[in-house]
Chain A
Amino acid sequence: MTPHSALLHDPVTGATRRIRVGWESAGDGALRLSGDGVDRAVPASALSLAAGGWRRDAIVLAWQEDGRTWAVTVDDARLGAELLAALPSRFAADAARLARQARRQRRGQRLALAVVALVVLLPLAAGVTLYLLRDRILDAVTRRLPLTLDARLGELARRQVAGSGQLIQEGPAVEAVRRIGARLVAQAPAQPFEFRFELLRDRAVNAFAAPGGLVVVHAGLLAEARSADELAGVLAHEVTHVLERHSLRQLLFELGLTTSARLLLGLPDGVADAVASAAVNLGALRFSRDQERAADRGGVELLARARLPATGLESFFERLARREGTIPAMVSTHPPSAERAAALRRLIEERGAWPVEPFPVDWEAVRQHASRA
């Protein structure tokens, strides 16, 4: 008789402890149990069989003896099956019922697992779907937003810039910016925005576009640019940002990412929040780099229509690339300048050559003006 591991309840001591016990048929339908603390042949009439254990996945064999109930609990599924097979034939129906119960319970467990998996995976799937469809969703939502929103946001930005008192009102540099801007805008396909081009007294080599048509160039950029072509390239890029409503899209994206992180991950506090906001930042930056590439592409098209050379934009980035530090591409809002210059060169090649009418301007006077400002 092979001893198996099982738990014996001894009604004399009231204790339930683990023992090694063997079982075999003892003839006359009795079951012989032998092990540590139990050694007897139990007549079939005294035996009862049931499912038990705290998860009801064990088999409990109980029998009466002197008015007290003994029980052996087999908590190993394989051993339980062996025990069922060793039982006298009188228990065939009980054994079948237990097997059915076990099957039903396994089904229940699979269901439970599926529910848990669903609860865990559903937000994940929703998140992935949202992320994969983000461009389409953002396009659709942006299209539905009224243009008055652009105008209102643009007005806010304009007041802030004007309020700084740092706008340069007149002079050759302002003239150049406004005239090149006007020439580009005139070539843009029918569009609803009212463009304004401004020059800001600021040393940084930068330019930005607000929703609704406000394009602001920093004086530092004019001082850095070597020709009117380079300025035209930058302006074409910024005008495209406005036309494609990039600021609005970016705003929507950040809003959406923050909201979904909160709803789907259900992260209310502490570390979780920091993780979510880091993801938002990285995601937002990456998104804005896609926008920069789109603006470069649109800018080249605009330059071609305005019969201005695109080589300016390219050479401007090449020069910036040589001066650029070592900020990793992942965490900078713009693609690395070298990469952008290369991409631009490809775009220009794809577009093919176009007739060019250079912009007539005394660039040296513009630079002088911008540098003095």
Chain B
Amino acid sequence: MNEIVTPQSLGLSREDLPNSYIGRSVPRPNARKLVEGRATYTDDVDLPRLVHAAFYRSPHAHARIVSIDTSAALKLPGVVRVFTGADLARVCDPWVAVLAHLKGMKSAPQYPLPLERATWQGEAVVAVVAESRAAAEDGVAALAVEFEPLPAQVDMETALSPGAVVIHPELGDNLVFTRTAETGDVAGAIAAAHKVVEATFHTGRHTGVTLEPRSIIADYNRADGTLTVHHSTQAPHMMQNVFATQLRLAESDVRVICKDVGGSYGIKVHVYPDEMAVACMSRIMGRPVKFIADRFEAFGSDIHARDHRIKGRLAVDAEGRFLAFDIDDLTGIGPYSVYPRTSAVEGNQVVNLCGGPYSFPNYRCTTTVVLQNKAPTCQYRAVGHPIATAVTEGLVDLAAEALGMDPVEIRRKNLIPDDAYPCTSPAGMKFEGLSHHQSLAKLLEMVPVDKIRADQLEQRKRGVYRGLGFASFIELTNPSPFMYGIGGAKISAQDGCTVRMDPDGSVVAMSGVTEQGQGTEAILAQIVAHGVGVPVSKVRIVTGDTRTVPYGGGTWACRGAGIGGEAALQSAIALKEQILEVAGAMLQAQGSSLDIVMGEIVDKATGQARMPLSELGRIVYYRGDTLPKELSRELVQTRHFITKEYPFAFTNGIQASWLEVDVETGMVKLLEHWCVEDCGRVINPLLVDEQVRGGIVQGIGGALYEHCIYNEDGQLLTTTLADYLVPMAAEMPDMHVGHVETPTKESLLGAKGAGEAGTAGAPAAIMNAINDALKPLGAKVFAQPFTPERILKALGTIA
């Protein structure tokens, strides 16, 4: 395993080995269409007889639907039809989002549009279909919907109290799921500890804000009974199964096509009731229906995430060794668990990940997942990681302070040793190979700590408060069926790739993983070019069409490179072997004595060119009569890959944030940010660095700005981009990214995921930096986002 030839393994520069594209910053072949405005997002697709949908959304957090009067809407010019929940339920079965391996989990059946009650403000209640989106919105405005407002359960802290509003009475209470992981003797360790530090953390409910909103066109063709869905999605095959199952169609009669996607970050991997409604309406009307969410709808109906309150304790001995983590997590997920991944996974991840980078004997962590009348939450980039990392790293810094230790020293003392692998964490996570200490050492080469500490002291004398914060983290990537499949969800953890050579010697690869801008198609082209032996310019990649690409899971949990990339490598190697067999027959040589270099068949020993691939293609496809009769000549190969040894390939890393807090205004100014991460084999350093940087900035968003704020009635107050703040260019720091490479031994490629590392660690690093800055003033903050108001409150400036 892992005997893959790279320039480094041969002691060569990347340029010296023309065939090796692994580890090279090749520009993305699909980037040019993006910079010329020639991409095809779902809204750019137009179809004959297309109609547009708009939704009437509940103005109440919780209300009974008394009546729906559609008469005025139907009289408007351009309005074609109006649909209620009952209309759509005739063609669509409800879904219940639970996973069997999350013991005791429960949730209520959910329909495309609710039948009796609206359970969050922003829930789609009635649909209007019209000739244009504008006409459909006119129709929505003309609907008369009468509601009987009901008491709303907004606060997650009281969701299980005796007086709580039980959102779905048939469930008995608002408890969705709870789980405790316990190892060792936490109570004993705490009782005997030298110091115990504790804090209560909050992570703010926030959301993904894909710049391209959720987008879908469903096109049911009565003539042949097929449903074609153009969908901005991360998981085309999963959605094919969902549409088929819920709409009672054969899976083979459903085709999901996903061209360009304008950002996803986990937002576009879920089943949304309004999108299911679009499929239902097309099924009923027999014509294509388009729905593009507007920004207001996106804030109220895209999944939210990270609405957690976490109480944490860390016990340490006198030398600063960690004895026990004791964590209690509470999360409110809205009125329904989201299908099919469920909304219990984020809390479950907190249980799996707290304390993750460290070696310690005793662990207890409980998550409690409850219903509330707010928008549903589910998996968003780095699911659970930023929460677990903030709690862990916040406690680590508190312990360092209590012991008078340096934050770097306490980490060095407790990080899992680099030679301890394989090992299992107290939470039960299996680690194949991590590099915490190498990563810390690399970070310390990059961060000028002494200079920063000197500057910090100097600035404090002038009343300027700067802070340096660190955060080690682990990240779960390359998931096996242990994530969803064993719970009964039809979410594929394996992935496939078909690679073929065409007559001109060019190569086409079709993959089940998908592209949302992270560069999947670029790395697949690099891997296939490397595996076959052709210039990367000769490789074309096809993704995002369930009718043509091998069955796969798409993009989630950082699996594209590690799973999809390995399938591509194996199929490319298989194609190369087949090509060489044919070449051997043509050149009267042993296939094993030949090689393919930059699109030429060459003698392996001498490197002498023997024949271009286009000549081999010409013979195979047009003059097959000249080849030996028994020679197999299938210049197309498919391989699938699934991880088998480990449930997940964990990665690791460490971040540092250097910032300044204006103690007069409470504003945080980010000065510089560093991240060292180990995603195994780096296929394209440029793309990995950009994944890390983009991820860091999404983490910064949650730490400082982004917050879905509800009032006590369950009304969402942040429904525009002027109210909900996302990071802008002027506030962002320059970010330095470094790598350690510990390839996974599960695959030849050795790649693990890199897309979520930045988001996992950034909030914790920023929190620790703010608290480091405020240390002389005796103030601390633990509730994200760290707004000026919260910082001024911590300083006692405001009440």
Chains A and B bind each other: no
